[in-house]
Chain A
Amino acid sequence: MTETLAQLSNNAMYSATVVYALAMLSHMAEWAMARTLPAVVTTSRSRAALVSAGRTTAPPENGRNAGVNEPNRRTVVGSVAAAPAEVERSDRFGRIGLSLTVLALLLHAVGVVTRGIAAERVPWGSMYEFSITSTLAVSSAYLFLVRRYKIRWLGLLVTGFLVMVLGLAVIVLYRPVGPLVPALHSYWLAIHVSAAAIAGGALTVGALASVLYLVRSAMETRALATPDKPRTGFLWRTPTAADIDRLSYRVHAFAFPLWTFAVLAGAIWAEYAWGRYWGWDPKEVWAFITWVVYAAYLHARATAGWQGRAAAYVALFGYATFIFNFVGINLFGSGLHAYSGM
C-alpha cells in the first residue's frame, strides 16, 4: 500500500511538472502573440473596477507615480485599438496556460498528499518534500491571486519558476519515502515548517511580482524619454508599475507576519527540543537575515527616497537570502537543521 502510494505520488509529481511546463509554453505563446499589440491599461483591482463601473474614481497613483503614468494614459487615449482577432489569439493562449496551471495544481496536490499518506506523516521531512510542498504553496497563492486580483500576467514567471524548481526536485533532490529523524518527532514540525512553506510560497510570488514591477517601471521611465516610440508587447498590456507594486506589497505584507510566525514558532520549538530559544545555528542566522531584510523592505516603503524601485530591490535581496537559506545552508552548511536527506 505504502509502495503504491509512493509510486502514485512520484507519477503525480512528474505529471504536474510536465503540465506546468505546458502551461509555461502556453504563456510564452501568449507573450509572443502580444508582441505587436499596443499598450492598454488594465487594472488588477477588479473589485474597484466592478463597483465603480462607469463612475469615477480618480487615478490611484500617488503623486510620485502619477508623473510616470501620465504618458501611459495618453497612450491609451491616443492609441488605435488592436484588431480583436489578434488580441483574442494572445488571450486564448493565456487562458489555456491558466487552465493547464489549474490542472497541474491538482496533480501537484495529489502528489504532495499521497506522499504524506505514504510516509504516514506531514510531507515535509526532507529537502525534496519541502520543495514540492512549498511550490504547492507558490502555485496555490498564484491561482488565489488570479481569482482575486486577476494576476494572470504573472503566469509566465510563475510557471517558469515552478517548472525549474519541480524539475530540480524530482531529478536532483528526490529521496524515497523514509522515516523522520527523531529530532523532528514533534507536532511543532507541522506548525513551524508549514508556516515557512506557505510564507515561502507567498514570498516567491512577491519576488516574481517585484521583478515584473522593476521591468515595467523601467519601461515606463524610458517611455517618458521617448514618447514617440510605439508601445507594444505583452509587458505594455500588464497593469501599470504602480499597480504591480501595490500587488507586490500586499503579497509581502501577507508573507511577512507568516515568516515572523515561522521563525518564532521555530524558536519556541528550539527551546523545547534543545533548551534555548535561539542559538545562532546557520539556519537560524539566515532566517534572521531574511526577516531583517524584509523588515527593512516594509520600512523602506515608508521612507522618502526608498520607495518604488529601491524597495523592490530590497525585497529581491530578501528573497535571495531566503533561497540561500534553503539551498546553500541545506547543501553546504552544517548545523542542527541538517534534515535535507542530501
Chain B
Amino acid sequence: MALRPSSDTRELDRDERDEASSGLDRPEGHVDARPYPAGSSSGGEVSALRPREFARWLWRQLTSMRTALILLFLLAVAAIPGSLIPQERVDPSAVFLWQQKHPKLTPSFERFGMFSVFSSVWFSAIYLLLMLSLLGCIIPRLRVYARAVKQRPPRAPRHLSRLPAYDTWATDESVPVVADRARHLLSAQRRRLEVFGAAEPGDEREPRELVLSAEKGYLREAGNLLFHVAVVVVLVGVAATGLFGFKGSAAVIAGQGFSNTLIQYDDFTPGTRFDVSDLAPFSFTVDDFDVRWEREGAGRGTPVNFAAHLTVTDEPGATSYDYNLRVNHPLEVGGASVYLVGHGYAPRVTVRDGEGKVAFSGPAVFLPQDASFVSFGVIKVPGDTSTQLGFEGYFFPTAALCKGQPCSTFPDADNPVLSLIAYQGDLGLDDGQPQSVYVLDKSRMQPFKTPGGNPRALLLAEGETVKLGHGAGSITFDGYDRWVKLQINKAPGKVVPLVGVLAAIVGLLGSLFVRPRRTWVRIRRDTGRTVVEVAALDRVSGGDPAAHVAEVGEALRPAMTAGPGEHTRQEESP
C-alpha cells in the first residue's frame, strides 16, 4: 500500500549494487526505504519534536506499508467474532437465543459491540485507518506516477556486470550494426527506448560507444493504483447507495396484498437521505405460493422449488400484470427490488368466546424453527382487558412423535397439527409499548391448566375444535395458509460498486502480472573488437530477468560468433 517510489532506481549510477538489490527487495520502492530524519526513529525523542514534525512523523507511520500490513491483520482478526457470535443485522433471533443462554457474558459482549461487530467502533476504527493509510499512499503515488510515465528510460549503470542478469561477448561487427539490431529487437518487444551516446547530426565518425536503455511495464503501477482507488470506490459506493435508499421486509400471507407504505412493513430501515414520502406507490397481491420438497431418496426434505405468484400494480390505476417471484428472480418495481427471502406456515384459527361469538378468525404467521418447518407462533385475541386470550405454541406440518416428543418429519403439510398453550388475562396491548406479533407478554396472564396443575397443551388436527374450559370459549384449527417473507430494497446507484468491482479486478491483474523491467545494451569498441554487454533489472521479484537477457543475447549475437563464452559468468549451472 504505502509504496512510494520516490527513492527509486532512477539514480542507479550512484551505487548499482545497492540499488540493484533494493530494486528486488522492495519491488515498488516503498516508504520504509526512506531515511527518516535523525532522531525521529527512536521513540524517546518523538515528544521533543515540534507538533508539525510529530504530525508528519505520525502521517508517515500511518501511510507506511508496515502499518497497512498490521491493519490488514487486525481487520482479519477483528472479523472473526462476527462469524462466531450471532450478529444483530444477520440473525436477530439467534442473537436473542444466544443472550438467553449466556446471561453473564451478554452485558460485556454488548458493551464491546460483539453483536454488531461490523458496525462497532473498533471495527470501524480499523477500516477507517486502513482507508486513510490507503489514501495517504495512493494520492502521492498518483502524482509520482504521472511524472514517471513521462520520463525516459534512465542511463545505464557503470558496471552492468553487477546487475542480477548479465551477458557479454565480443564480436567483429561494428558498433552501429549491433546497436541497430538491438534497437529493432527492443522496440519490437514494445519497450520504451532511449539511446545514449548517439552521434550529433552531421558527425560522420563512427561512435565508439552506444548504450541502449529500454524500459517496460509502466502499467503495473497503473494497475496497482487503479485497484486501490477501485477499492475505495467500492466501499464508498456501498455506503453511499445505502444513504439514498431503504431496506425493509414484510411477511405477506398468500391471498393477501401488500402496498408500498410504511405501515405495511414489518421492519424498515431508511437511509439517512431517504424521505419516506418518496416510497413508490406500487402494490401487489400474493395470489399463491408454490413450494415443493424432495420426497424420495437421500435428499428427502430438501426444497426443490418455490415461487410466489404476484399480481403487480405499478401505481394506482395502472394495469396490473403477473410476476412469478422466485429466489434469484427479484421483481423490479418503482425503482425498488422485491426479493423472496423466506416462507412459512400461517395456521388459520377461529376463536369463540364463552357465548359462541367469533372473537378472532384468520391466519397467524408462525416462524419456522428448523428445516422440518416446525413453526413457533402466537395468537392474540383482544377483548375485555381481564379476559383477553393469548395462545402460544407450535405448528407441526407433518406431525409425529419422535422419542416421545412431538416433531415434524417432513417440511410439507402432510399431517398438520397445532400444539398450543392458552393463556387468559391482560395481553398488555394498551400500555402504549409497541409489541412484537411473535411474542406473548405473559406477565399478566395465566395459563389454562390441567387438573394436575400443569399448563394444558391443546393438540389440534386440521378441522378440530377444543374447548378451553371455565366457560372461556373454544379454538378451532381451520387449516393453514402459507406466507412469504419479502425483502424490499431501494439502492439507487448500486451500479457504482459494480463498476468499482470490475475496475478492481482489471487493476489487480495489471498489478500482479505486468513486470516492470529495465534492459540495457552497451556496445563499445575495445582493443579492435566490439564488446557487447546486456543486462536487465526487474523492479519486482518473481520474474526471470536472466531468461530475458539470454533471449536478447541470443538474438543479438551474429549466428556464428562466440561459442559458449569465455566472458560469461557461469555460477549456476547444475
- Which residues of A are interface residues toward B (Cβ below 8 A)? 40-43, 45, 47-48, 51-52, 54-60, 62-64, 73, 76, 175-176, 178-179, 181-183, 185-186, 188, 246, 249-250, 253, 256-257, 260-261, 264, 267-268, 271-282, 285-286, 288-289, 292-293, 295-296, 298-307, 321, 329, 333-335, 341
Contacts and interface: CB of A to CB of B under 8 A. Distances in A.
Contact of B494 (A181, A250, A271): A271
Interface of B is mostly: mixed
A185 B327 contact: yes
B90 A257 contact: no
Interface stretch (B8-16, B67-75, B381-389): B67-75
B251 interface: no
B299 interface: yes
Given A55-B568, A58-B165, A175-B298, A256 B550 contact: no
9 contacts: A55-B565, A182-B305, A253-B512, A280-B117, A282-B83, A302-B27, A305-B32, A333-B83, A341-B299
Given A55-B568, A73-B571, A185-B327, A299 B303 contact: no
B560 to A, nearest CB: 15
A51 B550 contact: yes
Given A279-B90, A285-B83, A296-B76, A274 B341 contact: yes
Contact of A299 (B33, B65, B79, B327): B65
A129 B509 CA distance: 29
B328 to A, nearest CB: 4
Contacts, number: 232
B541 A301 contact: yes
Contacts of B163: 58
Given A289-B76, A295-B72, A296-B72, A176 B298 contact: yes
B339 interface: yes
Contacts of B505: 257, 260-261, 264
A56 B83 contact: no
Contacts of A186: 328
B247 A56 contact: no
B569 interface: yes
Contact of A272 (B26, B294, B328, B563): B328
B94 interface: yes
Contact of B327 (A42, A76, A273): A273
Interface string B12-35: 000000001100111110101100
B90 A250 contact: no
B455 to A, nearest CB: 31
B41 to A, nearest CB: 14
B247 A182 contact: no
B56 interface: no
B547 interface: yes
Nearest to A55: B568
A243 to B, nearest CB: 11
Given A57-B549, A62-B25, A64-B21, A302 B83 contact: no
Contacts of A272: 328, 330
Contacts of A267: 501
A71 to B, nearest CB: 13
A329 B569 CA distance: 54
Contacts of A306: 66, 69
B554 interface: yes
Given A62-B24, A335-B90, A52 B547 contact: yes
A214 B530 CA distance: 46
Given A41-B572, A289-B80, A48 B30 contact: no
Contacts of A40: 574
A64 B22 CA distance: 9
Given A62-B541, A63-B21, 6 more contacts: A63-B24, A176-B298, A289-B79, A296-B73, A299-B68, A302-B27
B132 to A, nearest CB: 16
A18 B567 CA distance: 53
B294 A280 contact: no
A253 B1 CA distance: 16
Contact of B542 (A73, A253, A277): A253
A304 B569 CA distance: 29
B568 A179 contact: no
Given A176-B298, A299-B69, A273 B328 contact: yes
Contacts of A334: 91, 94
Nearest to A189: B328
A272 B489 CA distance: 11
